[in-house]
Amino acid sequence: MSQRQIPEASVARLPLYLRALIDRAEAGVESMSSGELAAAAGVNSAKIRKDLSYLGSYGTRGVGYDVEYLIAQISRELGLTQDWSTVLVGAGNLGQALANYGGFADRGFRIAAILDADPAKVGMTVAGVEVFHQDQAERIIREEDVAIAILAVPGDAAQEVADRLVEAGVTSILNFAPAVIQVPEGVSLRKVDLSIELQILAYYEQRRLVSDDLANGAVRRHLDGLPD
Amino acid sequence: MSQRQIPEASVARLPLYLRALIDRAEAGVESMSSGELAAAAGVNSAKIRKDLSYLGSYGTRGVGYDVEYLIAQISRELGLTQDWSTVLVGAGNLGQALANYGGFADRGFRIAAILDADPAKVGMTVAGVEVFHQDQAERIIREEDVAIAILAVPGDAAQEVADRLVEAGVTSILNFAPAVIQVPEGVSLRKVDLSIELQILAYYEQRRLVSDDLANGAVRRHLDGLPD
């Protein structure tokens, strides 16, 4: 792992490169230029070269980056060369979908236990993982050496559950609950809002409608009263 | 809507500002400085001021941004002042969780129909939405004026399903399937990889382990053979 702290925005792009590289490696590709990696990861190539330079990777002129080597380097940098124990909190629809989602285990994120506040769910097995009562959180986090928790609880329960997990020793929370939560300094928090990406698509859809209208002469039909 | 095309990275941040603003509006806050918005959205304040300047919003010195006005402006810019019909393809665990996820409808994304290739799932109702056979895709997309499709199919089916949706007139795809898919130019594609955020958390977890080790004198215990 590089000694240097990598800028947060660059860290957030490393998984995108990793996904693109693994995809190409599976297709038998052995090296990629920054331009090819840019097309596959959806990031411009100057940014990619900059991001990878933090890892000490500069590629070889005329050859590009060695795919397997770069996969190993990014995996190591991201901490994916070790397995991580996680707890998944919430055994509702979303929690069950997440437990069944193969992509976590593939990347070394093992769900050690599912926790739920509902006694009726305790003892269920989802994707081979047992559901425990939330009261067992402290014990399980300690015994399974869990640092990362995945929150899939209702929005109004999210802050209270997060507080309890942090109290029990969790230092990273991935929040799928539809609520903004606060964590103390020193605890990492990432939020997944499944509607964010839809909103981005809506922007481009609206652009399409407007340019169709412009093409049809029906200028500003979609625009309402707000000033530009 | 502003006439000017906003940079892609800025578009991608607008939903983050919108979420933070709505959260504060619900708490009764009427104005926010760029610094407060920065803290709530997790983006630095210079970037926020730049992004909002594309919308023609500059705030008022000493007062900040008017929360309700900025919500209206961002919503209009993102195309959220109209409702969007979507189809959700895949009625498995993830598809069902997505159908049940309230966050889509809250933002004006109505799921007009759920499609699945499995005849056994046809006729089911998930979160009040009927499941149709995938063969009905063309008809439903036409009749319901669907521009946006949400893909929650197995990875190996994703490309074929995407091709068919595009053929039927869909111009935006939100891909939850664990596969890289290609779409023709003029079609928007966003990919949600639920493990990406976990990988980012793993980076910071690993940093913590290393700094604990450094503190304990057990320098480089976690580092393997790759050169820096």
Average pLDDT of chain B is 87
State how far the Cα of A152 lies from the Cα of A165, in Å rounded to an integer: 13
φ and ψ at residue A65, rounded to 5 degrees: -95, 140
Read off the pLDDT of residues A164-183 as tens digits, 9 standing for 90 and up.
Answer: 999 999 999 999 887 888 99
Question: Residue A222's pLDDT band (boundaries 50, 70, 90)?
Answer: very low
CB-based contacts of B96: which residues, under 8 Å, 6+ apart? Answer: A93, A97, B126, B127
Chain B, nearest residue to A40 by Cα: B180
Residue numbers in B near A198 (CB within 8 A): 84, 86, 104, 107, 109, 148, 150, 174
Q: Which among A199, A209, A223 has CB closest to B107?
A: A199
Q: What residues are paired with A133 via a beta bridge? A: A116
Taking contacts as CB-CB distances below 8 angstroms, the residues of chain B near A177 are: none
- pLDDT of residue B2 exceeding 90, the answer is no
Q: State residue A198's pLDDT score.
A: 86
Write the CATH number of the domain with boundaries B8-78. Answer: 1.10.10.10
Q: Give the best residue of B198, B213, B223, B226 to mutate against chain A (max A CB count within 10 A).
A: B198
Nearest C-alpha in A relative to B209: A79
Task: Kindly report, residue by residue over A19-73, the tens digit of the pLDDT.
Answer: 889 989 988 999 999 999 988 887 888 889 999 999 988 888 888 999 999 999 9
B203/A228 touch (CB, cutoff 8 Å), yes or no: no
B39: nearest CA in chain A? A182
pLDDT tens, residue by residue, A144-163: 999 999 999 988 999 999 99
From the CB of residue A132, how many other CB atoms can be counted at a distance below 10 Å?
21
Please state, in angstroms and rounded to a whole number, the distance separating the CA atoms of residues B34 and B52.
10
List the single residue in A with minimal CA-CA distance to B194.
A103
Q: Is the pLDDT of residue B160 over 90?
A: yes
The residue with greater pLDDT, B210 or B221, is: B210
The answer to whether the Cβ–Cβ distance between B204 and A15 falls below 8 Å is no
A197: chain B residues, CB-CB within 8 Å: 174, 190, 192
- Residues A74-102 have pLDDT tens digits of 999 999 998 999 999 999 878 988 888 77
Size of interface A-B (CB pairs under 8 A): 217
Calculate how close chain B gets to A78, using CA atoms only, in Å.
Answer: 4
Q: Do A102 and B178 touch (CB under 8 A)?
A: yes
CATH number of A84-191: 3.40.50.720
Instruction: Find, among B75, B96, B19, the residue nearest to A175 by Cα.
Output: B19
| Distance to chain B for A94, nearest Cα, Å | 5
CA A17 to chain CA mean position, Å: 13
Per domain, the residue ranges of chain B are: 8-78, 84-191, 195-228
- Contact residues, chain A, for B204 at CB < 8 Å: 11, 172, 188
Torsion angle of C-alpha atoms A196, A193, A26, A29, degrees rounded to 10: 40
Per-residue pLDDT tens over the stretch B70-129: 999 999 999 999 899 999 999 987 898 888 877 788 888 999 999 999 999 999 999 899
Residue type, B36: E
The reply to whether residue A201 touches residue B190, judged by beta carbons under 8 angstroms, is yes
